Structure 1
Amino acid sequence: MAEAAPASDAHYAYCEALLRERDRDLWLACLFAPQPARRHIHAVYAYAIEASDVRARVSQPLLGEMRLRWWSDSLTDEAVESVRAHPVADALLDTATRFDLPRAELIALADAHVADLYDDQTPDLATLEAYCHMTSAGPMRWAAKILGASPSPVFDEAGLALGLTRILRAPPGAFYPADLLARHGADIHLDSPGLRAVHADLRHRALSSYESARRAAPTLTKGHEALLPAATVPLYLARMIGRDYDPWRGVREPSPLRRQWRLWRAARGVGL
């Protein structure tokens, strides 16, 4: 396979613009990373956003599977001209080569998002956690590697907290595990004490993972900045507590100022 040319500055700039438009908190979190590494972290998260957006961009699941398969194939055969013409794919492949990112994990993220295309209920909590590890913790691990950090469970805990919180911010749906629904006698289509108990279980799991990451963060010698996307998790979870909270309406977002303040404090505190 011929060695591909480095990605262009324009393609990296496209990744940053995409991140800033689609997830401003995540873009702000990346600002605390050292400048030389920042563009590469943008590429990683731009890829994660592209994969997560597939469901909203297709009219039927098969088309979504084809799109996700394109990403998987692109990570295997990067010399194809059409692949390098895609700005996010080009920047991602350049970053993956420079920092020896695990291609199997990159592909696993795209494969995991196939579950987004269908309304099949997640069978159990372990399956949901595996999904979060691939889709939310994966980019954190890759950002940490770009920053020169050694592998650590702290990135998986922070990523799990972030992934579960993202699911809880949306109305109840197929990602609520069937084993928890059965345990509480809950119906995913009905607001009930049982469904709220499932919501509470997931919220407690997210908070537990966040606290584990927060306690372990000071032990890291490098890569603290990779944890920052999870810094706003407590703000969202705190808004999900109380009898008047309605999971069907989703969580009301904390103000941009509060989220930015939380990110700044976490960055100054070296961790979460």
Structure 2
Amino acid sequence: MDDHSKIVMEAARAADRDRYLSALYAPEDRRPALLALYAFNAEIAAVRDRIREPLPGEVRLQWWRDVIAAGTAQAASGHPVAEALVEAISANNLPQAAFQNYLDARIFDLYDDPMPSRNDLEGYCGETAGAIIQLASLALDPSTAPAFANLAGHAGCAQAITGLLRLLPLHRARGQCFVPRDILSAVGSSPEEFITGDGGAGVAGALAAMIALADEHLSAFERGAPGLPVSLRPAYLPVALTRAYLNRLRRIGTKALTDHADVAAWYRHAILFRRAARGWKPNHLT
């Protein structure tokens, strides 16, 4: 493994342990592409934390658009993750449009505008987490992956909504609200109320609604997951942890506003190993 590959692997491991561990279950020759995708995702997710104003963030996203469109290591300017991503796109014939749509969706992260509706949230999740799953699937088995695009959408929504709930303390500190306005309105709250103080009287209802939405997509994924071929399994392994995270969120309730809902490392390893070895069975229990 060369130095650039080690840098990319470490970037994925440090920023996104769940996806990193999942990539280790992929065939050895497929791992570099998955790690490049996961390191890229982590890099973009961290843009908000590295800026003070949205405009520099938009400039950074445009840089990534240009690098991907150019498709050359020279355009990547010695950036190890960008070089690895360009190589993965070229070697696996990954669709550039998916990356452009992903970057367009990530513009939302740079601003404090509230998420307008459930449909907008699902669209955001599909273009981000769902796209990463589908791109990883294409890198693993390009002939089979397209048949499971709808399943990737449900998996991405379940994973991303759960991830947003786990990041509530960070988002509220920033003044961001990913909980859709229509969901908050239904429980008698608003984005402005949700991100301040104790979240207001409707906070428990809003959290329950978001957990239910994630569970709805997770259940849809789990109904189709037994049909996943072994070749695509590594791309979907991170989603295997979603039910454990949702159960944790249910247990801590409104403490999710201030506490990071985590699951013990040994339990996460056990879940990933079980799904990697056995896949998903009908009516499985996690």
AA at the equivalent of 2:185 = A
AA aligned opposite 1:240: L
Report if the CA contact (8 A) 1:236-1:251 is conserved: no
Q: C-alpha displacement at 1:220, in angstroms?
A: 2.2
Match among 168, 177, 182 for residue 185 of structure 2: 182
Q: Does 1:252 align with 2:261?
A: yes
Q: Which amino acid aligns with 1:199?
A: L
Q: What 5-or-longer segments of structure 1 have no aligned partner?
A: 1-7
- Would the alpha carbon gap of residues 120 and 261 (structure 1) be closer, same or farther in structure 2, given more than 3 Å must change? same
Task: Give the conservation status (yes or no) of the 8 Å contact 2:207–2:254.
Answer: no
TM-score, structure 1 normalization: 0.91
Equivalent-residue separation in structure 1 for 2:232 and 2:60 (angstroms): 32
Closer/same/farther in 2, CA of residues 163 and 184 from structure 1, 3 Å limit: same
- C-alpha distance in structure 2 between counterparts of 1:203 and 1:263, whole Å: 22
Report the secondary structure of 1:122's partner residue: coil
Secondary structure of 2:99's partner?
helix
Name the structure where helix makes up a greater proportion of residues: 2
For structure 1, which segment, 73-82 or 177-186, has the greater mean C-alpha deviation from structure 2 after superposition?
73-82
Aligned residue type for 1:213: F
| Contact 1:83–1:90 (8 Å) recurs in 2 | yes
1:114-152 per-residue CA deviation (whole Å, 9 max, x = no partner) reads: 111111001101111111111111111011111113211
8 Å contact from structure 1 (residues 40, 92) kept in 2: yes
Q: Do residues 220 (structure 1) and 228 (structure 2) align? A: yes
Structure-2-length-normalised TM-score = 0.87
Instruction: Compute the RMSD of aligned alpha carbons.
Output: 1.8
Q: Do the aligned partners of 1:225 and 1:271 also contact (CA within 8 Å) in 2?
A: no
Query: Partner residue of 1:98?
Result: 91
Deviation at 1:75, TM superposition (A): 1.0
Distance 1:41 1:252 in 2: 26
Question: For 1:140-199, what per-residue CA distance to the aligned partner results, in whole angstroms no more than 9, with x for missing partners?
Answer: 101111111321111111111110011011225411111111111113135234222121
Deviation at 1:241, TM superposition (A): 1.6
Count matched residues. 265
Give SS of 2:145's match.
coil
SS in structure 2 opposite 1:127?
helix
Q: Equivalent residues in 2 for 1:29-108 (5 A)? A: 29-79=22-72, 81-108=74-101
Which of 141, 145, 159 is the matching residue for 1:162? 159
